[in-house]
């Protein structure tokens, strides 16, 4: 009988000299645990700093007077915080801005507000309308499609899925030229509907993708049970699956809304005047204006940031769960 | 060389759950010990503590004479086969098996030799270049075995390695594992909930339940002399039959009484029960400890009504309603029976088990 | 729905059962929308690229075959743009992947305040690029910016410097603003990948003798391969076509320092008003992105 088992020469079972063992590893374990916690703390603080510092600076800048904001080195925390910049935004629509009046218009900046300042609030309204329409259309169009592709076996199913995903591969820029010509010829150039339609192209693929993932994670038997109970496909969708798919629906609404709200390039191309301009466009127009009031711009920027951030924070939970349902649990 | 000793070891989790309570267990070198019990009994926790994957909350764990409570797994000379095999999906079979040796910085040619030896031994040489995803369940299991074997560890741990295999494979693998133990001459610690596996493989079995050890002994000891009803029920297929009743002692004669049934204990058993007259007990009879005879003698009769007949190959299982309780016995197929027949069986009174009705502990040890 | 005669409708009904018909009904809207707003533009822009179209002379649009493309390939400006795009993409995607990996590793641990960190991490993702651009533009400002201020206060520089206006610094600075905003999504993608690694693989590695860093190399990284592929491909596609930051931060300048492909397309189309060559360029860009996506899907499919 061959003795296969051997212990490495000179070493005991655990491979180290006998005496100081217990202390060795216990101490090591403790040190490691402290280092581990330290690294986590450091990492967390770093992330918090990297993300919040620029934003905090934005907030601080938006609350400084124009006189203060141009200090060298900068005042990290305003000595005399003021809300006048925000007031200027909201009252900007009240008077016409001309070269003569602009310097008197904004007391806090003491200088110049962009001539397009008064378009800020209407632009926000446009953004909101567009985003809402896009979300609604996304749901109407995307949910049945995703359901069908996830649960029904039909000829061309895989092909459809690939098709939908690949449309998103097209860069937005590539849509611009052909679309611009068409829209121009249709006379729809300065109309928010042109934005709504194009945004659908951008958002629907992702919507369908998320929903398919989620639907696939829901059991097929529900389907069969509902059909046996007498539901048509449509009713199965609305009565059975939809209520269950809530997290992913929230994720979809979130993504579609944010994408529409934040979109810039296409809005730039397809809008000309305040009638249809969305928030990002008006915001960007400030920078190309002449001599600008820094504090005003920062205030406007902050205003643009607030809604999306709030929406994202509220729905944070749903984002990850809506995306990863059907995948592994955390 | 590879003696494992648990001394008052416990495992407590931060949320208060106690997985293991006061474990005192000595595993001798080269022994094959099986930790047996239902899910949640603490057997896997014990195994993980030996491996170093879980910390001992209280008490001590010794390898030979050293405390290894805080030693991380990679400094312990143990190897483990996981229930799910845990093969590295992005490595080839060769790399999977070689990994442990690579980590311990063995020389290349040594690694190569060992891996090929193990592969040959397990008959998986032709699979060395494949990935785990291309293998069948049985093949993956062999790779997992190979990975552990090749390290020639002082302790070989196995966590329900056969539970994912189909029945036929399971039985042949049992034999292979037994043979592996014999040829490797290493300490084996094996976890399972399958009592048949335990009985065939173990040198000693540790029966566990809810974090507490119920009994430690050889398969024979545990089967013949279960310490309590739990152990008695857990081993043996079909499970042991129970009948509640009373003990009556008259001089040397000890009798179990329930209703019309009277069973006299054989002298070696009986003498341990002297002085227990009137005690309420649970009688245990294993399914195979009965006979069908023409005329059973009076102190050996189990009489009842047939409730089911299940032929099984060479025997038959009889469901018998005795004193209102349904018992199952295994007898030979000589006589045919029908539902509703009233029959008498002869009990082997030298193999009756007695447990206290309340504590469920064995009274005859 | 197309009106058909009784015969055709009946035969359609014969070929597709109820299941399939419902399915086609359900996907019809999506297909229509996407066909309209995705397929059509591509086809149309391909068509347009064969003409010379100048909006200043709307009535003369001669068919010029591949001239637009040939002109492009010999145009130095075009290749500069390609080069800038590639540089920008490589810098950004590398930074994003590394940072997202670190963040994902951190968020994979359990610790008090993890929820806070992951919520905060969402902020850059939520804000519009415009706001991102404004914010960083202000920070990079050469006269009063925070970057200058900070470095000045910490004594790293003697006086305020030009940042965005400095040709050598432009691309990295823009990349910084880009990376800042893209890391959160990449982190989530990597985190999902990280979480799907079965615990017993780590246990096996520990018993096999692998210390922490070895477990990372042999278990964590290989198992995350699909996650990495996804992130790298996705972010590459986003980086290649990105426009917003280049428009707002530097308008392609200074000089040609931040002259990427998407900027070039914009200039050609809306400033030079030459739609034909604009169409040609955007078609090329779409082609490249397609090739990338195809290549990625192939690799993804193979690696499992």
**Tens of pLDDT, residue by residue, chain C (304 residues):** 455 555 566 665 666 677 777 778 888 888 888 888 778 887 887 887 787 777 666 666 677 777 777 778 888 888 888 899 999 999 999 999 999 999 999 999 988 888 889 889 989 998 889 889 989 988 888 878 888 888 888 888 877 888 888 888 889 999 999 999 999 999 988 998 898 899 999 999 999 989 899 999 999 999 898 888 888 888 988 898 898 899 888 887 787 788 888 888 888 888 888 877 888 888 888 888 888 877 777 766 655 4
**Do B183 and A18 make contact, defined as CB atoms within 8 angstroms?**
no
Q: CA triplet B135, B141, B145: central angle to 5 degrees?
A: 130
**Do B70 and A16 make contact, defined as CB atoms within 8 angstroms?**
no
Domain count, chain B: 2
pLDDT mean across residues, chain A: 75
Residue B249, in any domain of the structure = yes
User: Would you say residue A111 has pLDDT above 60?
Assistant: no
Q: Which pLDDT value is given to residue C215?
A: 93
Is the CB of C238 inside 8 Å of chain A's CB atoms?
no
Q: Which pLDDT value is given to residue C239?
A: 92
| Range A75-84 average pLDDT | 79
Chains that touch B (3 or more CB pairs under 8 A): A, C
> Mutation test of the interface with chain A: which of C35, C38, C113, C120, choosing the one with the most A Cβ atoms within 10 A?
C38
Alpha-helix residue ranges (DSSP H) falling in A92-236: 102-105, 120-151, 157-167, 172-186, 192-217, 220-228, 233-235
Q: Which pLDDT value is given to residue A96?
A: 47
Distance CA C186, CA C21 (A): 39
**Do B75 and A15 make contact, defined as CB atoms within 8 angstroms?**
yes
- Strands B315-322, B261-264: pairing is unpaired
Q: Which pLDDT value is given to residue C56?
A: 66
Q: Which of residues 191-210 of C touch A (CB under 8 A)?
A: 192, 195-196
User: Would you say residue A68 has pLDDT above 80?
Assistant: no
Chain A: residue nearest C154 by CA? A73
User: Would you say residue B235 has pLDDT above 80?
Assistant: yes
User: Would you say residue B294 has pLDDT above 80?
Assistant: no
The pTM of the full predicted model, rounded to 2 decimals, is 0.82
- The residue from B234, B267, B302 where one domain ends is B234
Q: Which pLDDT value is given to residue C67?
A: 76
**Do C206 and B103 make contact, defined as CB atoms within 8 angstroms?**
no
Residue B262, in any domain of the structure = yes
pLDDT tens, position by position, B216-230:
999 999 999 999 999
Distance CA A104, CA A90 (A): 16
**Do C208 and B84 make contact, defined as CB atoms within 8 angstroms?**
no
CA atoms in the 13 A half-sphere facing the CB of C197: 27
**Do A319 and C48 make contact, defined as CB atoms within 8 angstroms?**
no
- CA torsion A89-A93-A99-A102 (nearest 10°) is -40
Domain ranges of chain A: 119-324
> Which CATH number goes with the domain that contains B46?
3.40.50.300
**Do C126 and A54 make contact, defined as CB atoms within 8 angstroms?**
no
Closest CA to B243 of B175, B296, B321: B321
**Do C122 and A167 make contact, defined as CB atoms within 8 angstroms?**
no
**Do C208 and B51 make contact, defined as CB atoms within 8 angstroms?**
no
Which residue range is the domain that position B291 belongs to?
A: 241-356
Is the CB of C164 inside 8 Å of chain A's CB atoms?
no
| Range A65-70 average pLDDT | 76
State the ipTM, two decimals: 0.81
> Mutation test of the interface with chain C: which of A176, A251, A310, choosing the one with the most C Cβ atoms within 10 A?
A176
**Do B90 and C225 make contact, defined as CB atoms within 8 angstroms?**
yes
3-state SS, C102-164, equals: HHHHHHHCCCCCHHHHHHHHHHHHHCCHHHHHHHHHHHHCCCCCHHHHHHHHCCCCCCCCCCC
Based on the number of CB atoms within 10 Å of its own CB, is C301 exposed (0-12), middle (13-18) or buried (19 or more)? exposed
- Strands B280-285, B241-250: pairing is antiparallel
CB C274 within 8 A of CB C57: no
Q: How many CB pairs under 8 A join A and B?
A: 65
Q: Which pLDDT value is given to residue A311?
A: 81
The H or E element that residue B283 is part of is strand B280-285
- My answer on whether B36 and B184 are in the same domain is yes
Residue with the two structure tokens 């920078």: A287
Chain A nearest-CA distance from C117, in A, is 6
- The residue from B219, B234, B249 where one domain ends is B234
Based on the number of CB atoms within 10 Å of its own CB, is B176 exposed (0-12), middle (13-18) or buried (19 or more)? middle
Q: How many CB pairs under 8 A join B and C?
A: 65
Q: Which pLDDT value is given to residue B131?
A: 92
Chains that touch A (3 or more CB pairs under 8 A): B, C
Alpha-helix residue ranges (DSSP H) falling in chain C: 6-15, 18-34, 40-48, 67-74, 76-108, 114-126, 129-140, 146-153, 167-195, 199-208, 212-215, 221-223, 225-241, 244-245, 261-266, 275-303
pLDDT tens, position by position, B152-172:
899 999 999 998 888 888 888
Architecture category of domain A119-324 in CATH? Orthogonal Bundle (1.10)
C5 phi/psi in degrees, rounded to 5:
-75, 165
CB A87 within 8 A of CB A320: no
When comparing pLDDT for A7 and C171, which is higher?
A: C171
Chain C: residue nearest B151 by CA? C208
Q: Which pLDDT value is given to residue A324?
A: 58
- My answer on whether B214 and B254 are in the same domain is no
Q: Which pLDDT value is given to residue A6?
A: 31
When comparing pLDDT for C285 and A52, which is higher?
A: A52
Q: Which pLDDT value is given to residue A100?
A: 45
> Mutation test of the interface with chain A: which of C33, C104, C125, C131, choosing the one with the most A Cβ atoms within 10 A?
C131
Query: What Cα–Cα distance (Å) separates residue B256 from each residue in A174, B245, B261, C183?
Result: 93, 7, 8, 77
Lowest-confidence pick of A121-135, A284-298, C31-45:
A284-298
- The residue from B234, B263, B296 where one domain ends is B234
Partner-chain residue, chosen from B84, B90, B103, that has the shortest CB–CB distance to C208: B103
pLDDT mean across residues, chain B: 89
> Which CATH number goes with the domain that contains B333?
2.40.50.140
- Here the tokens at position C180 are 């800042």
Residue B334, in any domain of the structure = yes
- My answer on whether B65 and B172 are in the same domain is yes
| Range A137-142 average pLDDT | 89
Partners of residue A320 in chain C, C-beta under 8 Å: 188, 192
Residue B365, in any domain of the structure = no
> Mutation test of the interface with chain C: which of B72, B90, B105, B157, choosing the one with the most C Cβ atoms within 10 A?
B90
Partners of residue A263 in chain C, C-beta under 8 Å: 128
Partners of residue C17 in chain A, C-beta under 8 Å: none
Contacts of A212 (CB under 8 A, 6+ apart): A146, A149, A150, A161
CA atoms in the 13 A half-sphere facing the CB of B85: 24
- Strands B32-36, B204-209: pairing is parallel
| Range A216-223 average pLDDT | 78
Contacts of A310 (CB under 8 A, 6+ apart): none
User: Would you say residue A98 has pLDDT above 60?
Assistant: no
When comparing pLDDT for A330 and A19, which is higher?
A: A19
When comparing pLDDT for A285 and C222, which is higher?
A: C222
- My answer on whether B149 and B131 are in the same domain is yes
CB B277 within 8 A of CB B247: yes
When comparing pLDDT for B255 and A324, which is higher?
A: B255
Distance CA C74, CA C76 (A): 6
Which domains are assigned to chain C? 67-303 (1.10.3720.10)
- My answer on whether B290 and B324 are in the same domain is yes
User: Would you say residue A32 has pLDDT above 70?
Assistant: yes
- Rg (C-alpha) for chain C, rounded Å, is 25
Q: Which of residues 43-72 of A touch C (CB under 8 A)?
A: 43-44, 47-48, 50-52, 54-55, 57-58, 61, 69-72
Q: Which pLDDT value is given to residue A97?
A: 47
Q: Which pLDDT value is given to residue A289?
A: 62
Contacts of A201 (CB under 8 A, 6+ apart): A167, A175, C33, C34, C37, C38
**Do A174 and C45 make contact, defined as CB atoms within 8 angstroms?**
yes
């Amino acid at each position: 009988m061959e003795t296969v088992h051997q212990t490495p020469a000179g070493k005991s079972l655990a491979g180290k000299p006998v005496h100081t063992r217990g202390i060795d590893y216990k101490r090591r374990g403790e040190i490691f645990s402290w280092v581990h916690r330290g690294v986590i703390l450091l990492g967390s603080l770093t992330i918090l700093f990297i993300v919040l510092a620029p934003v905090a600076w934005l907030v601080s800048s938006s609350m400084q007077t124009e006189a203060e904001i141009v200090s060298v080195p900068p005042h990290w925390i305003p000595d005399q915080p003021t809300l006048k910049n925000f007031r200027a935004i909201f009252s900007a629509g009240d008077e016409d801005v001309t070269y003569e009046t602009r310097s008197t218009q904004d007391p806090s900046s003491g200088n110049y507000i962009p001539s397009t300042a008064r378009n800020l609030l209407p632009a926000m309204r446009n953004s909101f309308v567009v985003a809402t329409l896009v979300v609604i259309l996304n749901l109407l169009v995307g949910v049945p499609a995703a359901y069908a592709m996830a649960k029904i076996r039909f000829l061309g199913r895989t092909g459809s899925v690939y098709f939908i995903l690949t449309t998103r591969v097209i860069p937005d820029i590539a849509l611009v030229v052909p679309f611009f010509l068409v829209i121009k010829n249709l006379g729809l150039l300065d109309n928010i509907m042109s934005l709504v339609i194009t945004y659908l192209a951008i958002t629907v693929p992702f919507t369908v993708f998320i929903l398919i993932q989620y639907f696939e994670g829901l059991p097929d038997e529900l389907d069969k049970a509902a059909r046996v109970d007498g539901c048509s496909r449509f009713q199965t969708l609305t009565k059975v699956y939809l209520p269950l798919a809530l997290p992913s629906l929230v994720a979809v609404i979130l993504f579609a809304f944010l994408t529409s709200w934040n979109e810039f390039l296409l809005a730039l191309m397809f809008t000309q005047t305040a009638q249809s301009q969305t928030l990002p466009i008006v915001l960007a127009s400030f920078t190309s204006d002449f001599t600008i009031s820094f504090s005003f711009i920062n205030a406007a920027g902050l205003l643009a940031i607030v809604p999306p951030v709030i929406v994202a924070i509220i729905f944070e939970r749903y984002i990850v769960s809506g995306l990863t349902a059907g995948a592994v649990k955390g | 060389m590879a003696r494992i000793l648990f001394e008052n070891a416990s495992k407590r989790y931060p949320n208060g759950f106690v997985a293991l309570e006061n474990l005192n267990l000595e595993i001798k070198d080269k022994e094959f010990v099986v930790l047996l019990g239902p899910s949640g009994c603490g057997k896997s926790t014990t195994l993980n503590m030996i491996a170093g994957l879980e910390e001992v909350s209280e008490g001590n764990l010794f390898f030979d004479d050293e405390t290894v409570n805080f030693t991380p797994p990679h400094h312990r000379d143990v190897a483990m086969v996981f229930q799910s095999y845990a093969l590295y999906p992005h490595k080839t079979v060769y790399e999977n098996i070689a990994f442990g040796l690579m980590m311990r910085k063995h020389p290349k040619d040594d690694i190569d030799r060992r891996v090929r030896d193990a592969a040959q031994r397990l008959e998986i040489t032709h699979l060395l270049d494949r990935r785990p995803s291309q293998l069948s369940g049985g093949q993956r299991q062999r790779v997992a075995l190979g990975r552990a074997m090749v390290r020639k560890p002082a302790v070989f741990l196995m966590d329900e390695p056969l539970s994912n295999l189909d029945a036929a494979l399971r039985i042949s693998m049992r034999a292979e594992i037994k043979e592996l133990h014999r040829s490797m001459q290493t300490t084996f610690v094996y976890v399972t909930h399958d009592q048949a596996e335990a009985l065939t493989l173990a040198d000693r079995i540790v029966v566990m339940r809810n974090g507490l050890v119920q009994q430690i002994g050889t398969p024979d000891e545990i089967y013949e002399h279960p310490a309590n009803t739990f152990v008695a029920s857990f081993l043996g297929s079909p499970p042991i039959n129970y009948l509640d009743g009373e003990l009556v002692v008259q001089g040397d004669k000890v009798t179990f009484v329930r209703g019309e049934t009277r069973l006299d204990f054989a002298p070696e058993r009986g003498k341990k029960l002297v002085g227990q007259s009137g005690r309420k007990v649970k009688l245990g009879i294993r399914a195979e400890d009965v006979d069908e005879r023409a005329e059973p003698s009076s102190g050996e009769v189990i009489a009842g009504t047939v409730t089911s007949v299940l032929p099984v190959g060479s025997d038959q299982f009889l469901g018998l309603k005795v004193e209102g309780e349904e018992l199952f016995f295994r007898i030979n197929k000589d006589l045919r029976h029908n539902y509703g027949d009233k029959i008498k069986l002869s009990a082997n009174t030298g193999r009756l088990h007695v447990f206290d009705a309340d504590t469920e502990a064995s009274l005859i040890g | 729905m197309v009106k058909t005669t009784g015969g055709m409708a009946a035969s359609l009904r014969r070929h597709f059962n109820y299941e399939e018909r419902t399915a086609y009904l359900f996907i019809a809207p999506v297909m229509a929308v996407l066909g309209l707003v995705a397929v059509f533009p591509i086809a149309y822009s391909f068509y347009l690229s064969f003409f010379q179209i100048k909006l200043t002379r709307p009535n003369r649009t001669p068919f010029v075959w591949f001239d637009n493309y040939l002109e492009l390939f010999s145009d130095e400006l075009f290749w500069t743009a390609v080069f800038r795009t590639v540089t920008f993409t490589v810098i950004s995607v590398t930074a994003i992947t590394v940072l997202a990996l670190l963040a994902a590793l951190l968020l994979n641990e359990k610790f008090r305040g993890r929820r806070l960190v992951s919520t905060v991490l969402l902020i850059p993702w939520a804000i519009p690029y415009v706001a991102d651009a404004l914010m960083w533009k202000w920070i990079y400002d050469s006269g009063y910016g925070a970057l200058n201020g900070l470095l000045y206060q910490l004594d790293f520089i003697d006086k305020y410097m030009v940042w965005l206006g400095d040709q050598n610094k432009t691309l990295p600075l823009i990349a910084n603003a880009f990376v800042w905003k893209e890391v959160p999504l990449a982190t989530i993608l990597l985190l999902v990948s990280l979480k799907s690694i079965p615990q017993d693989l780590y246990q096996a590695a520990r018993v096999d003798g692998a210390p922490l860093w070895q477990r990372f190399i042999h278990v964590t990284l290989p198992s995350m391969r699909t996650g990495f592929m996804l992130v790298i491909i996705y972010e590459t596609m986003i980086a290649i076509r990105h426009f917003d930051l280049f428009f707002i931060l530097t308008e392609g300048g200074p000089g040609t320092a931040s002259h990427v492909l998407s900027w070039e397309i914009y200039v050609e189309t809306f400033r030079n008003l030459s739609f034909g060559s604009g169409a040609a360029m955007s078609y090329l860009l779409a082609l490249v992105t397609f090739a990338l996506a195809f290549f990625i899907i192939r690799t993804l499919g193979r690696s499992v």
